Amino acid sequence: MNFAPDIFAGRSAVVTGGATGIGWYIVRMLGGLGANVGIVSRKEENLVRASEQFKAEDGIDVAWRTGDVRDPDGIKKAIDELANENGGLDILVCNAAGNFICPTEELSWNGWRTVIEIDLNGTFNCCQAALPYLKNAGDGGRIISISTTGANFGWPTAAHAGAAKAGIQNLMKSLAVEWGGYGIRCNWISPGPIKGTEGVDRLIIQQGMAEKVTKSIPLGVFGDGDDIANAVVFLAGETGKYISGAELVVDGGAQWNRR
């Protein structure tokens, strides 16, 4: 960790999908830098496992609630409770996502709808629920959504996720304008393949694409979870105070290799 250990002391964060994958690294980083972190995730067993691990390995206490970002009432309740428990809410990280590889010709309506609802509608639901708290954030509220560069270029065989993430990016641009007057900064991070995550396992490794994808990354390796967590810190901290409506790409240069 390369940041001062208390830079988020007195600040509170909620990370959706923070019990696994990229979200897990974001929670550990924010908690390690002094934030009161709450996680909302669907599966209680993942929440219990992650919170016990954070406590044992890093000395971090996290609060958690089970919840599905597709359920606006449930998400509002979870965010209300976490904000009350953690003394408000300064930083919302919209990380929860669903995805799978499926040619669009074969994609069912329900498959399409499911990913749009988790990724795009879920981000909307969380932003709406967090708004009353973010308005009162002392240093200016922060919304950071986890997207993908696939949203900028098209994502063949994951068109559902590409479209949903493109929607998220556009939502962040709109909220940067609409909620800027409340001091809320709205940005998104577009990760490349991050090793050890379920997404990379199912979308790349299980498809037999690991070697091809690795070769396509100019820096030659998959990213670490902490590469994304570091970007969150940059946007959520003092360093991000004049950044809003922006994309931070963390992909080893892969987006420009269209060969």
Measured from the CB atom, the residue of 12 and 147 that comes closer to ligand HXC is 147
Shortest Å, Cβ 76 to ligand HXC? 20
- For the chain, what is the HEC assignment? CCCCCCCCCCCEEEEECCCCHHHHHHHHHHHHCCCEEEEEECCHHHHHHHHHHHHHHHCCCEEEEECCCCCHHHHHHHHHHHHHHHCCCCEEEECCCCCCCCCHHHCCHHHHHHHHHHHHHHHHHHHHHHHHHHCCCCCCCEEEEECCCHHHHCCCCCHHHHHHHHHHHHHHHHHHHHCHHHCCEEEEEEECCECCCHHHHHHHHCCCCHHHHHHHCCCCCCECHHHHHHHHHHHHCHHHCCCCCCEEEECCCHHHCCC
Shortest Å, Cβ 202 to ligand HXC? 6
Is residue 39 involved in binding ligand HXC (CB under 6 A)? no
Stretch that binds ligand HXC, among 133-141, 173-181, 193-201, 223-231 (CB under 6 A): 193-201
Q: Return the biggest CA–CA distance within the chain.
A: 50
| Cα atoms found within 13 Å of the Cα of residue 88, Cβ hemisphere only | 18
Is residue 105 involved in binding ligand HXC (CB under 6 A)? no
Q: Shortest CA distance to 10 belongs to which of 48, 36, 43, 29? A: 36
Is residue 182 involved in binding ligand HXC (CB under 6 A)? no
Is residue 161 involved in binding ligand HXC (CB under 6 A)? yes
Measured from the CB atom, the residue of 9 and 48 that comes closer to ligand HXC is 48
Shortest Å, Cβ 135 to ligand HXC? 29
Shortest Å, Cβ 63 to ligand HXC? 22
Q: Tell me how many residues contact ligand HXC (CB under 6 A).
A: 20
Is residue 132 involved in binding ligand HXC (CB under 6 A)? no
Shortest Å, Cβ 174 to ligand HXC? 22
Measured from the CB atom, the residue of 3 and 100 that comes closer to ligand HXC is 100
Is residue 237 involved in binding ligand HXC (CB under 6 A)? no
Is residue 110 involved in binding ligand HXC (CB under 6 A)? yes
Shortest Å, Cβ 100 to ligand HXC? 3
Residues that bind ligand HXC (CB under 6 A): 21, 97-100, 102, 108, 110-111, 114-115, 118, 148, 161, 193, 198-200, 203-204
